[in-house]
């Protein structure tokens, strides 16, 4: 029934993900044809080097280094090259020619998404990108379609497998950051240059994409506050453990009322997560997206956030969706950005904080600290004093948990504490999320 309907599929890139997509397209042709309503003919695979080793067997005659010519006449273009150029130019070409596109390229979407969506709108085509956030985990379609009738309030997400792997091993083994990073590089979890992962750039791109979808608002990458995990050390992990928390690199996308108007806050940073929270049980390189919606309540999406064949699953789901639209006709579903909510700077974010101070253990210190917090509009929820053993002087570590405070107030207060004369050292300030 589907054999008379054929769609031309061009694949750009045959690396970790693209090679698996090619193999699955060729291996499961009959099943995919049944589901898509048309036979999906892989007409070619663009690569840089025809002779480079591949993870799967791709017929040599399909390989080409001429991506531009390959696109011509294609119904669906799958982009798995990565990077901004030439991916951006090739996708615009494909869209302008009326093809639907499928991409896993979060860097491109986070920086040039609106340009691609606009090009798709002009011709009634669509841009599919399930693989761009959290690899194999279905989260783009749930946010775009399944929750389209609800109001998302908050997303807390572990969207970078490398940093979750590092923090998880530090937590489980009490190991040092540098040792675990070196191990992660040896095992292939982390790149030789780990900056994109450990400094939070990769997670920030994914946060921008998630927040744009969840809040129907274009969220530019430079509106996402970003902090990485390079300052997280074994002592901090141990102190979190002692307080019943685990440290996770979180993408936080939040709707809140700020000075009487609805606005959104999007940020990536290490955070304390209570050990009983579902996100605390996300181990190794796995990802999870915890969504809080007004009507649906709490939802969690969990699984492999990367990996060639795992990510290929998300790509092929998009290819089938794109094929169905081609067969059914009509215009593709565009991005919904009409809410156009204002984006808050990090100073206007609100959350709870854990402040750890090293102080002399003498009368009046706690009262002075409490006074500075009160003056700064930061309300104390918990205080714990731990004696610092062994150096002969009476010194203590004060671990203060706050109620919800404004980031700007908290920052000013910590500065006043640091220069107050009663605090030897501000050992750490961590946001507490998900309570
Ligand atoms: P790879 O680096 O493994 O593969 C990139 C492929 O693109 C290679 O086959 C390369 O050719 C080809 N390529 C690069 N530049 C060009 C060019 N100018 N012209 C033609 N071909 C080109 O990337 P991945 O498969 O890991 O990732 C692909 C995309 O998927 C990225 O956007 C990534 O962010 C995203 N993604 C990846 C995940 C993963 O687990 N790897 C998870 C989720 C998303 P050649 O082989 O000849 O060098
Ligand atoms: N470097 C990413 C990670 C791969 O560690 O999760 C998927 O984007």
Where does a domain end: 262, 293, 328?
A: 328
48: domain CATH number? 3.40.50.720
Helix, strand, or coil here: 38?
coil
The pLDDT, as a whole number, for residue 393 is 78
Residue range 368-387, pLDDT digits in tens: 999 999 999 999 999 999 88
Residues 283-295 pLDDT 10s: 999 999 999 999 9
- Assess if residue 336 is contained within a domain: no
Contacts of 237 (CB under 8 A, 6+ apart): 167, 170, 171, 174, 247
Q: Is 305 in the pocket of ligand 2 (CB under 6 A)?
A: yes
- 185 confidence band (pLDDT: 50, 70, 90): very high
Same domain, yes or no, for 167 and 263? yes
Residue 80: give the domain boundaries: 6-136+309-328
SS3 352: strand
The answer on whether 15 is annotated among ligand-binding residues is yes
Distance 17 CA to ligand 1 centre (A): 7
**Residue 193 and residue 254 share a domain:** yes
Average pLDDT score over the chain: 96
Q: What is the pLDDT of residue 389?
A: 84
Same domain, 145 and 122: no
397: domain CATH number is 3.30.70.260
- Locate all alpha helices (DSSP H) within 49-160, ordered by sequence: 67-71, 87-96, 106-123, 140-141
Q: What is the pLDDT of residue 435?
A: 85
- Please report, rounded to a whole number, the percentage of residues in the chain having pLDDT higher than 70: 99
pLDDT level of residue 3 (50, 70, 90 thresholds):
low
pTM value? Answer: 0.96
What are the residue numbers of the active site?
Answer: 206
Co-location of 281 and 164 in the same domain: yes
pLDDT number for residue 388: 87
Statement to judge: residues 216 and 320 lie in one domain: no
Q: What is the pLDDT of residue 391?
A: 67
Please count the CA atoms within 13 angstroms of the CA of 359 that sit on its side-chain side.
Answer: 26
Residue 429 pLDDT more than 60? yes
Among the three residues 240, 271, 305, which one is the final residue of a domain in this structure?
305
Instruction: Give per-residue pLDDT as tens, 190-245.
Output: 889 999 999 999 999 999 999 999 999 999 999 999 999 999 999 999 989 988 99
Is 342 part of any domain? Answer: no
Q: Report if residue 343 sits inside a domain.
A: no
Average pLDDT over every residue of 407-428: 97
* Closest C-alpha among 287, 293, 219 to residue 249: 287
Tally Cβ neighbours within 10 Å of residue 11.
30
Identify whether 338 is part of a domain. Answer: no
Kindly state if the Cβ of 194 falls inside 6 Å of ligand 2: no
Res. 145: pLDDT tops 80: yes
Does the structure show a pLDDT above 50 at 359?
Answer: yes
3-state DSSP assignment of residue 250: strand
**Shortest-distance ligand to the CA of residue 110:** 1
Q: Which residues contact 225 (CB under 8 A, 6 or more apart)?
A: 266, 267, 268, 269, 345, 346, 349
Closest CA to 303 of 180, 433, 159: 159
At 78-104, the pLDDT tens digits run: 999 999 999 999 999 999 999 999 999
Task: Assess whether 46 and 153 both reside in one domain.
Answer: no
Q: Is the CB of 82 under 6 A from ligand 1?
A: yes
Q: Which two tokens stand for residue 319?
A: 């290819």
Task: Tell me how far the alpha carbon of residue 257 lies from the centroid of ligand 1, in angstroms.
Answer: 40
| Domain count across the chain | 3
| Overall average pLDDT of the 148-162 stretch | 97
Does one domain contain both 148 and 252?
A: yes
Q: Is residue 344 part of a domain?
A: no
Side-chain half-sphere of 28: how many Cα atoms within 13 Å? Answer: 17
| 241 and 217 inside one domain | yes
What pLDDT, on a 0 to 100 scale, did the predictor assign at position 95? 97
- Report the nearest atom of ligand 1 relative to the CA of 81: 7
User: 179 alpha carbon to ligand 1 midpoint, in Å?
Assistant: 28
Q: Could you give the angle at which helices 106-123 and 201-215 cross, rounded to 10 degrees?
A: 30
Question: Quick check: 143 and 152 in contact, CB under 8 A?
Answer: yes
252 has pLDDT over 80 = yes
Look at residue 120 and tell me if it is in a domain.
Answer: yes
Whether 366 is covered by a domain: the verdict is yes
Residue 272, helix vs strand vs coil: strand
Residue with tokens 């579902």, as numbered in its chain: 278
Tell whether 335 is covered by a domain: no
Tell me the residue ranges of DSSP E strands in 151-226: 152-158, 225-226
Tell whether 108 and 217 lie within a shared domain: no
Q: Which of 311, 309, 291 is nearest to 300 (CA)?
A: 291
Is residue 332 pLDDT above 90, yes or no?
no
- Pair 166, 233 in one domain: yes
Mean pLDDT confidence for 171-178: 95
Known binding residue 13? Answer is yes
pLDDT for the residue 1: 47
- Whether residues 155 and 279 share a domain: the answer is yes
Assign residue 152 the CATH number of its domain: 3.30.360.10
pLDDT value for 334 = 81
Yes or no: say if 60 and 78 are a contact pair by the CB < 8 Å rule: no
State the DSSP H helix or E strand holding residue 423, giving kind and residue range, or none if neither: strand 423-432
* 40-51: pLDDT as tens digits: 999 999 999 999
Q: Model confidence at 335, in pLDDT bands (50, 70, 90)?
A: confident
Question: Other CB atoms closer than 10 Å to residue 232's CB: what's the count?
Answer: 21
Q: Which ligand is nearest to the CA of 162?
A: 2
The residue to mutate among 161, 228, 308, having the most atoms of ligand 2 within 8 angstroms of its beta carbon, is: 161
Centre a 10 Å sphere on the Cβ of residue 198 and count the other Cβ atoms it contains: 23
Residues 271-287: tens digit of each pLDDT? 999 999 999 999 999 99
Does residue 389 or residue 25 have the better pLDDT?
25
Q: Are residues 145 and 286 in the same domain?
A: yes
């Amino acid at each position: 029934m589907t054999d008379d309907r054929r769609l031309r599929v061009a694949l750009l890139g045959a690396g970790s993900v693209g090679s698996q997509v090619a193999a699955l397209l060729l291996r499961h042709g009959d099943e995919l044809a049944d589901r898509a309503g048309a036979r999906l003919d892989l007409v070619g695979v663009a690569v840089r080097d025809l002779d480079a080793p591949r993870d799967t067997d791709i017929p040599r005659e399909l390989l080409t280094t001429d991506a531009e010519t390959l696109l011509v006449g294609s119904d669906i273009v799958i982009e798995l090259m990565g990077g901004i150029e030439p991916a951006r130019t090739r996708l615009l070409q494909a869209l302008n020619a009326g093809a639907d596109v499928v991409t896993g390229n979060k860097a491109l979407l986070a920086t040039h998404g609106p340009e691609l969506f606009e090009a798709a709108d002009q011709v009634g085509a669509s841009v599919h990108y399930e693989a761009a956030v959290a690899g194999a985990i279905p989260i783009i379609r749930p946010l775009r379609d399944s929750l389209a009738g609800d109001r998302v309030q908050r997303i807390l997400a572990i969207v970078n497998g490398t940093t979750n792997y590092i923090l998880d091993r530090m937590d489980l083994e009490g190991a040092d950051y540098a040792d675990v990073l070196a191990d992660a590089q040896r095992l292939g979890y982390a790149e030789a240059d780990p900056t994109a992962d450990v400094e939070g750039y990769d997670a920030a791109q994914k946060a921008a994409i998630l927040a744009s979808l969840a809040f129907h608002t274009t969220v530019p990458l430079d509106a996402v506050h970003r902090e990485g995990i390079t300052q997280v050390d074994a002592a901090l992990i141990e102190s979190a453990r002692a307080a019943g928390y685990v440290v996770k690199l979180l993408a936080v996308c939040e709707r809140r009322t700020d000075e009487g108007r609805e606005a959104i806050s999007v940020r990536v940073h290490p955070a304390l997560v209570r050990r009983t929270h579902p996100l605390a049980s996300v181990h190794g390189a796995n990802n999870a997206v915890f969504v809080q919606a007004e009507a649906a309540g709490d939802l969690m999406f969990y699984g492999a956030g990367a990996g060639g064949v795992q990510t290929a699953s998300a790509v092929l789901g998009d290819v089938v969706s794109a094929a169905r639209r081609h067969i059914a006709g009509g215009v593709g579903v565009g991005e919904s950005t009409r809410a156009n909510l204002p984006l808050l700077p990090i100073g206007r974010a609100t959350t709870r904080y854990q402040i750890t101070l090293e102080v002399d253990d003498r009368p009046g210190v706690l009262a002075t600290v409490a006074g500075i917090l009160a003056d700064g509009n930061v309300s104390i929820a918990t205080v714990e004093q731990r004696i610092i053993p062994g150096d002969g002087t009476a010194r203590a570590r004060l671990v203060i948990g706050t109620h919800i405070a404004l980031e700007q107030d908290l920052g000013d207060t910590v500065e006043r504490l640091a220069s107050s004369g009663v605090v030897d050292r501000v050992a750490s300030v961590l946001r507490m999320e998900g309570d």
